A and B are shown apart, each in its own frame.
Chain A
Amino acid sequence: MINLIARLGQWGISFVSRLGTAVLFLLSAMRGAWHSLPRGSLIIQQLYAIGVLTMVIILFSGLFVGMVLGLQGYSQLVAFSAESSLGLVVALFLVRELGPVLAALLFAGRAGSALTAEIGLMKTTEQLAAMEMMAVDPMIRVIGPRFVAGLIAMPLLAAMMSAIGVVGGYLIGHGQFGLDAGVYWSSMQNGVDLIDDILNGIIKSIVFGFIVVWVALFEGYHAVPTAEGVSRATTRTVVTSSLAILGGDYILTALMFGGF
């Protein structure tokens, strides 16, 4: 019994200390990000690795998510003869929820895991220690540019997902079901608000990008420097950031659209 309580206490202490380490890491990563801002070429390189290589799967899956929304939405709306609001349904779903959330989940799986593995391997092969030996701050040289690139890339990716999803819904609504193009777009334009819907969606995606980059860089930087440790850190990145995205999405949605 005492053992069990001691185990719980140990777990609690290690959880809190890990959380504290993560926050301290975040502070120094943000400092590193600030100092890495003048070094544009490093950020561009990371934007390529994080953004450009993720863009393809975002565009691809966004198109299909939009088409599925179009199919499902139409078949349900037609029962209430409200198929004219298909555009509104598709756009609100994508701009408010699916765009930021799905893009962030894909981003965590595609870019977050790569970041953790890369930095974990740098640590395992003592590249980070070597940098410190040469008086190069790895926070500025390695962590900072990745942080900035993630924060820039995520809102752009989420916007791409929403935009191409709306086009996918249009392809199904107009192409397959013969819904009038004007009806599709005008119901969308009447119902979607620039501030309430689109700006809030962009804010969501920025928060998600922040979460994913923070978790991924932290897990990589504090990975156990073995092959197994890096693989575990990579798994934890995907799991933790996915859970944080979904939980954070609820909180953000309640704050933005919950009406209080």
Chain B
Amino acid sequence: MQRKSIEIWVGIFMLVGIAAIVMLAVQVSAAGTGTGKSYRVEARFDNVGGLNVKAPVMIGGVRVGRVGGIWIDKEDYVAVVGLDIDQQYDTLAVDTGASILTSGLLGAQFVGLSPGFSDIYLEQGDTLELTQSAIQLESLISQFMFSQGQDQGQEPEKNNSKDQ
């Protein structure tokens, strides 16, 4: 009887431990969803900003894949982003556009796809042609300040011309 109850307890222990591992795999990392088969397409950007590997790839806010890798094309030094798109979305047109967007004002960056209209679908290894780089806050601000400075510089000239 003593032996029996020990065996039961050890069985419970093993069950709880295995249940914990399964919970970590399924509930915490969602291994069952989304990590299935995917195909890789590439997109070339002038500037990827703060995009990270594993960032989501979305169409209209729905996650369809993740960023599989970011590297530089050594021929012309353009940033290339590898997009791993889930196999179930295998009917994306070849003229699909990709842009790097930010969720919220300062949130994480992700790749947004805008579906195209072609009858030819994207396949493993294709390259997206229509891309829009990440918007950098610094360059926006400097552009804004530059245009402000130009406006102020022009104003006195206008006054002068009126005087004349």
B-binding residues in A (CB < 8 A) = 41, 44-45, 47-48, 51-52, 55, 91, 95, 153, 155-157, 159-160, 162-164, 166, 185, 188-190, 192-194, 197-198, 202
Q: Tell me, yes or no, whether B145 is within 8 Å of chain A by CB.
A: no
If A44-B7, A156-B20, A159-B20 touch, whether A198 touches B28 (CB-CB below 8 Å) is yes
Q: Smallest CB–CB gap between A87 and chain B, Å?
A: 9
Point out the residues of chain B lying under 8 angstroms from A193, CB to CB: 29, 54
Is chain B's interface secondary structure helix, strand, loop, or mixed overall? Answer: helix
- Complex Cα spacing A192 to B24, Å: 10
Point out the residues of chain A lying under 8 angstroms from B20, CB to CB: 156, 159-160, 162-164
A95 touches B28 (CB 8 A): yes
Q: Output the nearest chain B residue to A193 by Cβ-Cβ distance.
A: B29
B21 touches A47 (CB 8 A): no
Contact of A160 among B9, B10, B17 (CB under 8 A): B17
If A95-B24, A163-B20 touch, whether A156 touches B14 (CB-CB below 8 Å) is yes
Q: Smallest CB–CB gap between A48 and chain B, Å?
A: 5
Q: How many residues of B contact A (CB 8 A)?
A: 27
Point out the residues of chain A lying under 8 angstroms from B18, CB to CB: 156
Q: Mark B73-105, 1 if CB is under 8 A from A, else 0.
A: 000000000000000000000000000000000
Q: Output the nearest chain A residue to B24 by Cβ-Cβ distance.
A: A198
Q: Smallest CB–CB gap between A20 and chain B, Å?
A: 35
Contact of A189 among B3, B7, B29 (CB under 8 A): B29
If A48-B10, A52-B12 touch, whether A156 touches B17 (CB-CB below 8 Å) is yes
- Complex Cα spacing A193 to B10, Å: 30
Q: Smallest CB–CB gap between A199 and chain B, Å?
A: 9
